[in-house]
């Protein structure tokens, strides 16, 4: 399928990797809908995309992934009338200093990065199934490999560590995507998950304290690439004819922080079907949203 013929939804499209992904897709002719919480920031992002690509087919969708009523309202409008060829789950929060909860009482990091996307995907699914060759691409992170990413205390009710919650959310992104790939193995949906390497984006805005103020600028200079470069894995997974559903894609460079996208090593046990089934069931229970992968299927 030509990029110029596809319709895309990019969550977190108003900044960082999401904006760079949207900018590249729009530049090649795709119709791109940028989704995010702030109408003002979305409008500014659309202006930036159109400034780089006059005539770009770009629009906005107000979507707060930490509020399931916002998720439902946004998804319902799309599910009823739209066709979505590419659903790109990119938005996220990171390093919240204290345990916070979403509007619905879910731990904020997992509630936004995984559960909000799970509920959005489930409810927008009829629009995805109207496409002849749909793809769902979810953005994870290297943090998914950390031991603190275990999913046994998904809501961090026993203990909370800021980057531990982030690692859980990023492992959940992978486990969810692989389970979605199993659910859709007969086609036509392809589900892929990526990690972008390292880039300085507004995800780092929650870092606090003297150590963060010292380490973050050094890491930015020595280790972290640009948001534009970090968008490569997402763009590769979204458009390459050579990727397969259920693959984990990341940059091939040193320590996988940057470089040409290629298949990446999964976190240990992330491809365990039992863990996939447990997370899927927990996600339906916590969000109150059933995910019927046959919804909207032709015939």
Token pair of 289 as six digits: 């949203």
Give the active site residue among 160, 166, 176, 236.
166
CA dist., res. 239 & res. 3, Å (int): 7
Answer whether 149's CB lies under 8 Å from 122's CB.
Answer: no
Token pair of 162 as six digits: 């800021």
For residue 44, the tally of other CB atoms under 10 A from its CB is 14
- Relative to beta strand 86-89, strand 135-139 is parallel
Question: Measuring CA to CA, how many Å separate 67 from each of 15, 87, 106, 169?
Answer: 20, 19, 10, 17
Q: Is 236 a catalytic residue?
A: no
CA dist., res. 15 & res. 12, Å (int): 7
Please list the active-site residues: 166
């Amino acid at each position: 399928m030509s990029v110029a013929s596809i319709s895309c939804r990019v969550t977190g499209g108003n900044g960082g990797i999401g904006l760079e992904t949207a900018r590249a897709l729009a530049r090649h002719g795709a119709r791109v809908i940028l989704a995010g919480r702030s109408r003002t920031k979305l409008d500014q992002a659309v202006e930036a995309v159109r400034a780089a690509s006059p005539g770009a087919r770009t629009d906005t969708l107000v979507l707060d992934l930490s509020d399931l009523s916002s998720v439902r309202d946004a998804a319902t409008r799309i599910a009823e009338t739209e066709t979505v060829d590419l659903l790109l789950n990119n938005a996220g929060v990171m390093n919240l200093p204290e345990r916070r909860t979403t509007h619905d009482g879910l731990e904020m990091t997992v509630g936004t990065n995984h559960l909000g996307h799970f509920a959005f995907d489930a409810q927008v699914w009829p629009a995805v199934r109207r496409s002849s060759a749909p793809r769902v691409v979810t953005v994870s992170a290297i943090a998914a490999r950390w031991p603190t990413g275990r999913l046994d205390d998904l809501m961090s009710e026993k203990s909370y560590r800021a980057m531990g919650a982030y690692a859980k959310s990023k492992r959940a992104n992978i486990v969810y995507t692989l389970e979605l790939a199993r659910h859709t193995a007969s086609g036509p949906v392809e589900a892929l998950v990526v990690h972008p390497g390292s880039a300085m984006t507004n995800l780092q805005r929650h870092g606090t304290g003297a150590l963060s103020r010292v380490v973050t600028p050094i890491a930015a200079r020595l280790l972290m690439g640009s948001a534009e470069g970090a968008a490569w894995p997402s763009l590769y997974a979204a458009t390459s004819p050579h990727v397969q559903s259920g693959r984990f894609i990341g940059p091939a460079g040193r320590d996988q922080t940057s470089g040409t996208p290629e298949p990446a090593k999964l976190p240990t046990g992330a491809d365990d079907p039992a863990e996939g089934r447990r997370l899927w069931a927990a996600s339906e229970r916590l969000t109150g949203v059933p995910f019927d992968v046959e919804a909207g299927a032709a015939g």
